[in-house]
Structure 1
C-alpha cells in the first residue's frame, strides 16, 4: 500500500487543524447598540477590544467594588478558615441596610468572601474590611493602592461594599481588575456558584444564599467569574469572565436601565459576536442611557480637575 507523501500529509494535518483555529469568530462589521451607559468587551487571550463604549468614563460601580475588596483580602493572605465576627461599625453607609447576617455572629473568612461575591452581601464585605490587618483605614488605603498598581486610573474607593456613590471606576479599569482576579482562581469558583449554604455560630444558625447573576443558571453560558452591582446612582452593573463565540472574554456593562437590562446587554453582545445579528434595545432604555450620559458630562464640566476622573469629589 502506498504511503501519503510528506507534503500531502502536511496539508491533511493543516486541514484537520483548521476548524480549531477558526473557532473564535471575527468581530462583526455591524454595530450592536447597548442600553448600558458604559461597556467593554475584551478577548482575554489576545487583548483585542471587541466592543467599547464610553469605556474610560468613571462612574459609581456599586457592589462591583466587592471584587477589589476580595482581591485585597486575598493579597493579605489571611487564613481562609479563621472564624471572624460580623462587624459593620466602620461603614456609615451600612446604617439601616437590611441583612440576614446577625451582628456579632461568626463565620469563616472564606464564607464571608463567598457571600460578598456570589450574593453581594454587604455585611460580609464590611466584615472582611473590619478584620483586615490595621483595620478599616488600612483596608481602604490598600484598596486604592491596589487599584493604582493595576493601572486603574479612573478609580477611587472609600468603603468596601459599593454602597457609597464615591466608589467609582470605569469599564476599562474594571477589565484590568477582572484580569487581576485570575491570580486567585478561588474568586471565580466562589463568585460563579449557583447557591451556597453557610453555617454561623454565636448563635448557631444556617442560611441559604443564591447568585445575584441569573446567567449562572442559563444554558449556553459558561461563566468563570461574575459580579453584579446596583444602587440608584450606579444603575445596574455587571462584570464577567465568560465565553462568547469561542473566545474567553472580559465583559463589563455599567449603569443599565431596568432590573434585567444589564443581563439583556450581555445576551445582545453574545448574539452579536456569535452571529453578527443586531438586537433591538427598548426606547425607554436608550432614553435613560442618553440622559445618564448627559448628566455625566454636565457633572464632569462642573468639577475641578484633581487628577482622578470621577463623578464626585473625594
Structure 2
C-alpha cells in the first residue's frame, strides 16, 4: 500500500518522463542564438522566423504559452490550501491543474459513500422498495448516535439520498445489509469496483467511512468522481440541499441537510459532492463543480476545522478564476504541517 518515491535527475539531453509520456531529448538553443545575432546581413523578418522556430522546438517559448486566452495564469505556487493531500483536475482535458501529495494513502471517511452509492445502483435493485435500517454487521456503528432508528423503514432511494446528502451512516449500512449476499458481499463489490476503475491504492472494509481502514488517494478519488458523474441519481441526490424523510414502523419524520453548504450557494454549480470526517482523516471533500464553464474535479483531504475543506474549495475556485487565493489560517497551516510530517515518516510524502 505504501510505495517508495523514486526521483530522477534529468539533463538537457535525457528523456523526461511525464506520466506515461516521454519527451525526446533536445539540443539547447543557446549556441545557435549568437549566430543569428552576428548575421547582420540576414533580413529582420527571416531572422525573427528562425528565432521563433528555434524557441518552439527547444521549449524555451513554453512560459509564453502558459496562460490560456481569457483565463488567469495559474501558478500552483500561488494556491495555498489547508489540505494535506489534494488534487484538482480539469475534466474537459484531463489536465492536472494542482496536486499536493496526490498518491499518499490516507483514510477518506465518508467519501467512501460515493462507492457505496455506485455499488448500490449497479445492483439494479428496486429503488422504490422499502427496506429496514439494519446495522448489525457494521461494527463501526456500535455506540454511534443517529436520528435514524434501527429497524425503521424507508425506500432504497431515500436511504441512498440520506447517505449521500447528509452522510447518514445508518442509511449507508442499511444499503449494504439489504444487498444480495449481505454486508460482506457488498464490501467485496466495493473493492471489485475500485479495481475496475483503476483505483489501485484504494481499499474498503465497510460502507460508511467510519473505519480508518477505508483508505484511498487524492488521485484515486478523482477516478471515483469521474465514475460517480456517470450516474444521474448520484448527481441528483448528492447535491440535494435538504430533505424531510418520512420513515415507517414506527412512523416518524426527520429533516436532513446537505453536509456541503456550497450546494445552497447559487454562485456554485456543483455536479457531484461528498464530504467526510473522522479524526484519522480530518475534514475531507470530493467535489465536481463547473468553474468558468468547465468541469473541475477537486479532492481535498486532511484539513483542520469544520469548514477548512469548504474554504479550500473556495480557494481553488478563486485561484482558477483570478490566479491567486486567500491565505490559510495559522491553525489550519500548522495542522497541515503535522499531517505532512506524518506522511513523511510513513514514506508517503515526496
TM-score by length of 2: 0.78
- 1:62 and 1:192 map into 2 onto residues whose CA distance is 18
Answer 1 or 2: higher relative contact order, Cα 8 Å, separation at least 6.
1
Unaligned runs of 5+ residues in structure 1 are 1-20, 302-308, 310-314
Is the 8 Å Cα contact of residues 27 and 50 (structure 1) preserved in structure 2? no
- Residue 44 (1) aligns with residue 76 (2): no
Give 1:26 shift.
Answer: 5.7
Equivalenced residue count is 281
Is the 8 Å Cα contact of residues 245 and 270 (structure 1) preserved in structure 2? no
- 2:255 and 2:329 map into 1 onto residues whose CA distance is 35
Runs ≥4 residues deviating over 4 A: none
Q: Which residue of 2 aligns with 1:58?
A: 105
Q: Which residue of 2 aligns with 1:112?
A: 159
Q: Which residue of 2 aligns with 1:96?
A: 143
Equivalent position to 1:211, from 258, 274, 278? 258
Q: SS in structure 2 opposite 1:242?
A: strand
Q: Which residue of 1 aligns with 2:120?
A: 73
Q: Which residue of 1 aligns with 2:168?
A: 121
Report which of the two structures shows the higher radius of gyration computed on alpha carbons. Answer: 2
Name whichever of 196-205 and 170-179 sits farther off: 196-205
- Residue 245 (1) aligns with residue 267 (2): no
- 2:172 and 2:239 map into 1 onto residues whose CA distance is 17
- 1:185 and 1:52 map into 2 onto residues whose CA distance is 28
Alignment deviations for residues 95-135 of structure 1 (CA, whole Å, 9 cap, x no partner) = 01111111111100000100000000000000000011111
Is the 8 Å Cα contact of residues 72 and 323 (structure 2) preserved in structure 1? no
Is the 8 Å Cα contact of residues 286 and 297 (structure 2) preserved in structure 1? yes
Q: Which residue of 1 aligns with 2:19?
A: none
Is the 8 Å Cα contact of residues 229 and 271 (structure 2) preserved in structure 1? no
- 1:134 and 1:184 map into 2 onto residues whose CA distance is 23
Is the 8 Å Cα contact of residues 228 and 237 (structure 1) preserved in structure 2? yes
- 1:55 and 1:101 map into 2 onto residues whose CA distance is 35
Is the 8 Å Cα contact of residues 64 and 162 (structure 1) preserved in structure 2? yes
Q: SS in structure 2 opposite 1:270?
A: helix
RMSD across aligned C-alpha pairs, in angstroms? Answer: 1.6
TM-score by length of 1: 0.86
